[in-house]
Amino acid sequence: MAKFDENAKPFTNKWLDERIGLNTLKRVLNTEYWIPKDINFLWAMGMILAATFGILLISGIFLLMYYKPDTNLAFDSVNYTIMSEVGYGWLWRHIHGVGASLVFLIIYIHMFTGIYYGSYKRGRELIWLSGMGLFVAFSAEAFSGYMLPWGQMSYWAGMVITNLFSGGSLEAYGLVEWIRGDYVPGDAYLTRFFMLHVLLIPLVIIGLIVLHFGTLRLPHVNNQEGADIDYEESAALYKAGKKKESKVIPFSPVFLSKDIFVMGVYFILFFYLVFYHFNFAMDPVNFDPADGLKTPAHIYPEWYFLWSYEILRPFSKDVGLIAFALSQLAFIFLPFIDRSPNVAPAHKRGLFQIWFWVLLIDMIVLTAMGKLPPTNETFAAIGWYSAVLFLFMGPALFVITIFEKKIEKGA
């Protein structure tokens, strides 16, 4: 039976501590959650993602009040009711659209930061895996959300992507119809993606975020040198007042203060885009109502899916599907493909550094080619070579890291 002080007044610190361990929570999550000092602003990307997810959630709530998930009503509920009738409806819609695009920019920066500094290695594998789970969940959330305005791009992207599930030579057309709930994307299709977007996937995302934080707590975040930090020693130094000598800082308020500054800069960019420059996130093609009898001249996914889309495109149907699957899996299994024991930034890891920049540039080229019309022969060729290169990046990493020299860690 826990000890309860009769004199403790309700809702005071002591009273709450006795009942929910408030002080322990504060220490573990905030004031004694130690973060290495040797980090840069890229370490704030996680918080920015959490903030952006929160913004998407809140703007989504107001859109949800007026959106009608019915193929006859959806387009006008968004483009008439929300955009012109609802007080500040246009603001929530712009915030939601721009937010959905920017969240992926930050996700990619966050991912590549992890790859560069080796934050997926020894002890942090689960952080990486739960993070990849979040990437997949956010991708599903973005895809399902894009269906909802029921514009031309919503319909035809839905048509093309669900067609993928026919599995090439497997010809699983029954499966495609089952997924859609109909022969073509229609009312059943819209309402089930509405359910996914508004309830199921957000719940999954929230669960994965909790897991992501949970897997982060014990290994602690990485640092710019990949160094092993004796947290007990450094924590003791800090608490004794020797802040300069300590290698760590507390999450709250020190690390948080830097996080918030970086967030401020991010929000300036975010809202500039919301008010003045949003066509990259709200493609004009989707302002034409969905028409099952008229295909737009150019169908393309949102920019963050383009690299995957391009791996699919250059090959024949079956080869493309296999290549597509392999490319997604390669990222997921990164911690296990990398055979080197070195936890260090890329610039200290010899060939790995070259591998990193080749990967980044290859993905940017794939992204660009995914948008460009494949009828142009030059673009088609570049796309083919970039896709093949990407497929070799996994095996290349395996080989490079087997032969990587072990870095002797100094004191």
Q: Which of 276, 316, 377, 411 binds another protein (CB under 8 A)?
A: 276
Place of tokens 């395996």: 398
How many Å apart are CA 396 and CA 390, to the nearest integer?
10
Place of tokens 């597509």: 324
Whether the CB-CB separation of 349 and 342 falls below 8 Å is answered with yes
State the minimum distance, in angstroms, from the CB of residue 389 to another protein: 17
How many Å apart are CA 258 and CA 44, to the nearest integer?
8
Strand, helix or coil for residue 151: strand
Q: Which of 28, 65, 218, 388 binds another protein (CB under 8 A)?
A: 65
State the minimum distance, in angstroms, from the CB of residue 196 to another protein: 24
> Closest by alpha carbon to 88, among 54, 48, 61, 51?
61
As given in the structure block, the two tokens for residue 186 are 């229609």
Whether the CB-CB separation of 66 and 81 falls below 8 Å is answered with yes
The interface region with another protein, picked from 13-21, 91-99, 213-221, 324-332 by CB under 8 A, is: 91-99
Q: Is 4 in the site for another protein (CB under 8 A)?
A: no
Residue 41 CA to its chain's centroid (Å): 18
How many Å apart are CA 270 and CA 44, to the nearest integer?
16
Is 90 or 333 the residue whose CB approaches another protein more closely? Answer: 90
The interface region with another protein, picked from 23-31, 177-185, 258-266, 346-354 by CB under 8 A, is: 258-266
Q: Which of 184, 218, 364, 381 binds another protein (CB under 8 A)?
A: 364
Q: Which of 280, 333, 385, 403 binds another protein (CB under 8 A)?
A: 280
How many Å apart are CA 387 and CA 365, to the nearest integer?
9
Is 138 or 307 the residue whose CB approaches another protein more closely? Answer: 307
Q: Is 57 in the site for another protein (CB under 8 A)?
A: no
How many Å apart are CA 83 and CA 67, to the nearest integer?
11
Is 95 or 201 the residue whose CB approaches another protein more closely? Answer: 95
How many Å apart are CA 363 and CA 387, to the nearest integer?
9
Is 53 or 176 the residue whose CB approaches another protein more closely? Answer: 53
Q: Is 40 in the site for another protein (CB under 8 A)?
A: yes
| Binding interface with another protein (CB under 8 A) | 37, 40-42, 62, 65, 76, 79-81, 83-92, 94, 105, 109, 241, 243-244, 249, 253-254, 257-258, 260-261, 263-265, 267-268, 271-272, 274-276, 279-280, 282, 284-285, 287-289, 297-298, 303, 306, 360, 364, 367-368, 371-373, 376, 379
